[in-house]
Amino acid sequence: MKILITGGAGFIASQVADRYIAEGHAVAIVDNLSTGLRENLNPQATFYEVDITDEAALAQVFDKEQPEVINHHAAQMDVRRSVAEPAFDATTNIVGSIYLIENAIRVGIHKFIYASTGGAVYGELECIPADEEHPINPLSQYGISKHTVEHYLRLYHDNDDLIYTVLRYGNVYGPRQNPHGEAGVNAIFAGLMLVGKRPTIFGDGSKTRDYVYVSDVVAANVLALSRGDNDVFNIATGIETTDQEVFDAIAAATGYQGPPIYGQERKGEIHRCALGISRARERLGWEPQVAFTEGSRLTVEALSTKLAD
């Protein structure tokens, strides 16, 4: 199939692109390289340095490529920036997605796969693990913007027969995650520890997240090509992992001996998160394969190799 991947120079989507290409699909990538890296681009993919909010340029890509599938990962994904710049967040995540959906309808695509977020859309959880029917009460503009696109997908399905799959990710981690970014605590901790610097835990270390390794996320994107039509899936592990446990796992993998710095908790972040994955098991045939300790080791190993190059 011809697949157009947005954000394909980024941490997750670049690895989705690699897997799609390995399985024989033709891939085109749209990325503005604001956070993605050119080095992540698969050389077998056709690359367009285009922002998804550039309506005219995006339409030209669709006209040229005529994709059969859209895999949409491009996003403003920094919770703190969404709080500080809500209009920018909405423009990128909502307006840019609308342009993609409208072009998808125009060229008659077969499937629209959307990378949403499980950690941010639900807000503070009323039950743990939270399944896909949990109330939606985001605590950040980012959570609102990502969930809004899910409504647009349902609308275009009802009105224009668009077939879609929504994947609500837990906290994805693994190789290619930016150790200097605002998100991705695993890579941030690893990057600091590998050069002997003290990482900061925001809060007392008890905050939890549901960490899912990137190769497991890639597998969900492969399954979504042929399964999960017009449905929403948590892609996670169902397991709570504390910030302190993340610190300890990365410290063990790097050999770091020092303590963390404990800083003030940040606005817009939930305190606990674990996502139920029974629907993904039953309807997608997906479940995670990589345990957190092993994923942490692989993350550190990949970053260590990169830093040594």
Q: What is the pLDDT of residues 45-59, one digit of tens each?
A: 999 999 999 999 999
Same domain, 92 and 217: yes
Same domain, 149 and 255: no
Q: In this structure, are 110 and 215 located in the same domain? A: yes
Mean pLDDT of 226-247: 97
- Give me the chain's average pLDDT, please: 95
Does the pTM surpass 0.85? The reply is: yes
Residue type for 12, please? I
Other beta carbons within 10 angstroms of residue 247's beta carbon come to 21
Catalytically annotated residues:
142
The HSE-up count of residue 171 (CA atoms within 13 Å, CB side) is: 26
For residues 96 and 143, membership in a common domain is answered with yes
Instruction: Provide the residue range defining the domain that includes 40.
Output: 2-122+129-171+211-235
State yes or no: pLDDT of 207 exceeds 80: yes
pLDDT score for 268: 67
Tell me the percentage of the chain whose pLDDT exceeds 70.
99
Report d(CA 306, CA 12) in Å as an integer: 17
Helix (H, G, I), strand (E, B) or coil at 115: strand
Q: For the purposes of burial, counting CB atoms within 10 Å of the CB of 185, is it exposed (0-12), middle (13-18) or buried (19 or more)?
A: buried
Please state the rounded mean pLDDT for residues 163-187. 91
| CATH classification of the domain holding 187 | 3.90.25.10
Are both 107 and 189 inside the same structural domain?
no
* Listed residue (182, 170, 178) closest to 299, CA to CA: 178
What is the rounded average pLDDT of the residues 149-169?
98
Q: Is the pLDDT of residue 181 over 80?
A: no
- Scanning the chain, the segments in alpha helix (DSSP H) are 13-22, 55-65, 79-84, 86-90, 96-107, 118-121, 141-160, 185-193, 214-223, 243-254, 278-279, 292-308
Res. 217 pLDDT band, cuts 50 70 90: very high
The Cα–Cα gap between 109 and 156 comes to 12
| 72-84 pLDDT per residue, tens | 999 998 888 888 9
